[in-house]
Amino acid sequence: MAITNATIDLASDITDSALAVSNTTELNTAGTTTGVNTMTSVTKVLSSTNQVDLITTGSVSTTHAYVYINNPSTDETQYFNIAIGNAGAGSPTDTEEIGRLYAGDFMWFPWDVDDDICITPSTSDDMTVEYMVFS
């Protein structure tokens, strides 16, 4: 049986009291104690400001997955708008923005695989995005 753990460690000194949080969870298939057994890792270079389907519902064979998306850029003008929906429907209004990844940012979230994950680059320069899907 596959075992995949996700860990997050946060530390901050922006308040008078130092903050440190650490948590680990085992990634399981929906509603079970069976570990996820598939991982897809992709690096893409996008060269326009068009919204595109980054990860489609048809790319996984399950109803629940975990997604990691990273913006490895060091240029603060290069960010990605991340949305849930279907850019392929012909209009960005078919999506709902869930976050913005600035240079050096990443996001991690559970995905119910009901809608595509869409991405819109901030510039038409070559922008690299990295992502992994665990299902």
Query: Which domains does the chain possess?
Result: 38-134 (2.60.120.10)
- Please tell me the distance from the alpha carbon of residue 9 to that of residue 55, in angstroms, as a whole number: 26
Contact 71, 79 (CB under 8 A): yes
What is the pTM for the complete model shown?
Answer: 0.89
- Please tell me the distance from the alpha carbon of residue 101 to that of residue 117, in angstroms, as a whole number: 14
**pLDDT score at 81:** 96
pLDDT band for position 9 (cuts 50, 70, 90): very high
Least confident residue range of 25-29, 84-88, 111-115: 84-88
**pLDDT score at 61:** 84
> What's the whole-number mean pLDDT along residues 53-67?
90
Contact 28, 110 (CB under 8 A): no
